[in-house]
Amino acid sequence: AGGGGGGCGGCGGCVDDLFSTAMAAAAAASSSSASAALSSGASSLPQLEAQKGLAAQEQKKKVSAVKKIFEQEATTIMIRNLPPSMQTEDVTRMLQSYGFAGVFDLCRVPRDFSTGRGKGMAFVNFKSVQHSCLFAWHFHGFNGYDIAPATHQGRDANYDKWRRKHKNVKDKKMKPWTGV
């Protein structure tokens, strides 16, 4: 399906390490959230338990997002809940500044052609499933972002889909970044 299916050599070790880390983090969230809740101002046991449950729930969502990407061998992910002011260049810079430079080959932020504003989502194709899983682990829930596998997988499939719909677009800001 995805076009990555093992990416860094296919042994699965990267993803096994990722899931081990994810499970350990989920367990730690439920135990360490108590001290974090106390230091953040939880003054009663019910408040403490509510914050503890919320942290564990967020970790489970993150693990679920990564697991879905891994099971579908998805190299192309969709990022939801982006601010409408975010453009392709902004997402590309964000990816590069967080250490993902050189591991993705397509970034596209759909925009409203009449206003030029983003539609609150982006599509990014990573060069391997391991990289897309790692991205989801780091960014799912960050600033409210929701990370999920995209419907169309692979750089070429996504670019061709865009190109078929928007053949005559001249403005570079409206085009996907393809790394070339």
At 85-125, the pLDDT tens digits run 998 889 999 999 999 999 999 888 888 878 878 889 999 99
Checking if the pLDDT of 139 tops 80, the result is: yes
Checking if the pLDDT of 3 tops 50, the result is: no
Choose between 145 and 10: higher pLDDT: 145
Mean pLDDT score, 128-139: 90
- 118 φ/ψ sector (left φ>0, alpha ψ -120 to 50, else beta): beta
Residue 15 pLDDT: 45
pLDDT tens per residue, range 42-65: 455 565 556 566 677 777 888 888
Mean pLDDT score, 135-140: 88
The tokens for 57 are 């729930």
Choose between 29 and 133: higher pLDDT: 133
Instruction: Please report, rounded to a whole number, the percentage of residues in the chain having pLDDT higher than 70.
Output: 59
Q: How many CB atoms lie within 10 A of CB 142?
A: 11
Amino acid at site 153: Q
List beta partners, residue 104. 126
Q: Over the chain, what HEC string results?
A: CCCCCCCCCCCCHHHHHHHHHHHHHHHHHHHHHHHHHHHCCCCCHHHHHHHHHHHHHHHHHHHHHHHHHHHCCCCEEEEECCCCCCCHHHHHHHHHHHHHCCCEEEEECCECCCCCCECCEEEEEECCHHHHHHHHHHHCCHHHCEEEECCCCCHHHHHHHHHHHCCCCCCHHHCCECCC
Checking if the pLDDT of 39 tops 70, the result is: no
Checking if the pLDDT of 35 tops 60, the result is: no
Residue 158 pLDDT: 78
Choose between 31 and 158: higher pLDDT: 158
Using pLDDT thresholds of 50, 70 and 90, give the confidence band for residue 178.
low
Checking if the pLDDT of 33 tops 50, the result is: no
